[in-house]
Amino acid sequence: MIELLRKRRSIRKFTDEPVSAEAVETLIEAALRAPASRSLNPWEFIVVDDAGLLQQLAAAKQHGSEFVARAPLAIVVCADSTKSDVWIEDCSIAAILVQCTALSLGLGSCWAQIRERRHDAQKSAEQYVQELLGLPEQVKVECILGIGHPAERPRPLPAEKLQREKIRRNRWA
C-alpha cells in the first residue's frame, strides 16, 4: 500500500482508451468493500461511462471538475444521509480506496469535490448532480471520481517534500 501512496498523483488528463469491464468490476468491488461506521454502509455509487453524461458532470461546479469530460469513466460517490451521521467520512474512505485500486490497475484518477461547492449563483454543485442523475433528496453527493488511462505522468512527491512539521508525538506542543 505504501508504494501505491508514493506513486499516487491526481490525474486530470486521460487517453481515449476505455476502462475495461474487468477493471470497472474491480473498482466497484473496492467501493463495496470500503469500511463504514457501524457497518451502516450509507454510500451509494453511480458508475458513469456515457460520454454525454460525463460532459454534463464536468460542468457540475464552477471550476475544478472539467477534467471529468475527458475521462472515460466516472464514479459519483454519494450516500443516503438518513442512514448515518458520518456519511461524509464513509464516502471519503470509499473514494480513496477506489482511487488506490485504480492506481493498482494502472489507471489514473482525480477527485472533484461536489459537497459544499457551487454550480452557479442559484444552485449548488450537489443540487446540479442530484437533478442530473435523478437522486432522491436524501442522497447527498460527496464527490465525482474521474478515472481512466493516464495521459500524463506527474512525478511522485519526493520524501523530502513531505510536511513532517505536521507530525507531533503524544501532545501538540
Q: What is the pLDDT of residues 86-145, one digit of tens each?
A: 999 999 999 999 999 999 999 999 999 999 999 999 999 999 999 999 999 999 999 999
Beta bridge partners of 77: 45, 143
* Full DSSP string of 74-118: EEEEEEETTS-TTHHHHHHHHHHHHHHHHHHTT-EEEEEE-TT-B
> Domains in the chain, please, with CATH?
2-154 (3.40.109.10)
pLDDT on residue 171: 96
Determine the pLDDT at residue 173.
86
The pLDDT of residue 92 is 98
pLDDT at 50: 98
Grid coordinates of 107: 489507471
What is the predicted pLDDT for the residue at 113? 98
Tens of pLDDT, residue by residue over 4-30, are: 999 999 999 999 999 999 999 999 999
Residues 38-95 pLDDT 10s:
999 999 999 999 999 999 999 999 999 999 999 999 999 999 999 999 999 999 999 9
Q: pTM value?
A: 0.96
Q: What is the reported pLDDT for 88?
A: 98
The pLDDT value given to residue 93: 98
**Mean pLDDT (whole number) for 161-169:** 96
* pLDDT recorded at residue 61: 97
